[in-house]
Amino acid sequence: MDRLLYVSMTGAHRVMEAQARNAQNLANVGTTAFKRSLDSAQSQQIEGPGLPSRHNVRTSEVRPDLSSGPLQATGRALDVAVQGEGWLVVQDAEGGEALTRRGDLQIDANGLLRTGAGNPVLGDQGPIAIPPHTQLTIGVDGTISIVPLGQGPRAPAVLERILLVRPELESLERGTDGLFRTADGEVPPADAEVRLHSGQLEASNVNMARSMVEMIELARQFEMQVRMMRSADENADTAAQLMRLGQ
């Protein structure tokens, strides 16, 4: 009974963690370039007084699935999707550098280029400021060109180049702000081989149908663990009654 209770109790706790992570993935199914979370679990023996059969289930690793999401054509000049294993470099809330693949770019009231999450996009010279213009294009290499306000269409000016990098994917970690950073905190140097798809966005790599099926499966697993705990309680009551009868 001791073993049954601990196995079912820790199993239920583990299922709750998995369900919470799956719910987070589902909540971000419409978030541009979101990377779903993956995790794994392992058995850990409980030390101290009691039977050695008691084991907890603990999450051993939580990591993002960095596979690319499907591309969606938007035709919008400020929308870009990073090809392959490239990443955009942005500024986080503390002023440091971080990585993202979110390419739904916006120009704020001060002319600063930001992602849809509000992070300033960095270029070779720092945060990118866009002056008043009549036309803007972003090249496949991240070069931003504009036609300044009051100028003709034949007077384009190269403004800046978006900082694009290609980090080692195994070293990337997702922060609580949703941005990615390398394990050592260093941003890789600019990679001239990274390319962009202009007028397109990378969608979330969360598969809604698969996540919904997983949610149902996890709910059934939790119910099974609860039934096991009830069985352990019933077995304990039955054993206590038998002991009383023997007195």
Task: Express each pLDDT in 117-169 by its tens digit.
Answer: 999 999 988 999 999 988 999 999 999 999 988 777 676 788 999 999 999 99
Taking the domains of the chain in order of start, what are their residue ranges? 2-66+206-245, 71-202
pLDDT at 168: 93
pLDDT at 105: 97
Instruction: Report residues of the chain scoring pLDDT below 70.
Output: 1-3, 48-55, 59-61, 153, 155, 246-247
pLDDT tens-digit profile of 84-102?
999 999 999 999 999 999 9
How far apart CA 64 and CA 69 sit, in angstroms, is 13
Q: Quote the strand ranges of 152-217, DSSP E.
A: 157-161, 164-165, 172-174, 180-182, 196-198, 200-202
Q: Are 157 and 148 in contact (CB under 8 A)?
A: yes
Q: HSE, CB side, 13 Å, CA atoms: give it for residue 38.
A: 9
- H/E run at residue 87: strand 87-91
